[in-house]
């Protein structure tokens, strides 16, 4: 058992607040201003969104999907049309 899991929840919360240099009521105004100057605003940056057709194309050309496409092609060559259709439907469901 690790040392952190041996603590009761109140002790763990107290240690966390100590490590964050905060208190149960939050940061003081002075500390909040200092952190704003040091680290900048607490905002998330949006990542560029992929368009759904591009994402769908990525799903069909993923390395494991390509392996399944190969398997489906080989199944068609050997005449296992039902299993090939099942593999192709699995690719579609995964995408």
Q: For 8-51, how does the pLDDT look when each residue is reduced to its tens digit (9 = 90+)?
A: 888 888 888 888 888 888 888 898 899 899 999 988 887 777 78
> Under a CB-based contact definition with an 8 Å cutoff, are residues 95 and 59 in contact?
yes
- pTM as predicted: 0.48
Return the half-sphere exposure (C-beta side, CA atoms, 13 A cut-off) of residue 93.
6
- Compute the distance between CA of residue 84 and CA of residue 74 in angstroms, rounded to an integer: 8
C-alpha angle 56-70-92 in degrees, rounded to nearest 5 = 30
pLDDT of residue 22: 85
pLDDT of residue 20: 85
CA dihedral 6, 9, 12, 13 (to 10 degrees): 180
Share of the chain above pLDDT 70, in %: 94
- Compute the distance between CA of residue 88 and CA of residue 65 in angstroms, rounded to an integer: 9
């Amino acid at each position: 058992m690790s040392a952190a899991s041996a603590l009761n929840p109140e002790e763990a919360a107290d240690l966390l607040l100590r490590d964050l240099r905060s208190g149960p009521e939050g940061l003081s105004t002075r500390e909040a201003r200092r952190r704003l100057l040091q680290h900048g605003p607490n905002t998330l940056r949006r990542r560029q969104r992929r368009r759904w057709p591009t994402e769908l194309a990525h799903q069909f050309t993923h390395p494991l999907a390509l392996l399944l496409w190969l398997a489906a092609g080989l199944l068609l060559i050997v005449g296992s049309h039902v299993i090939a259709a099942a593999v192709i439907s699995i690719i579609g469901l995964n995408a």
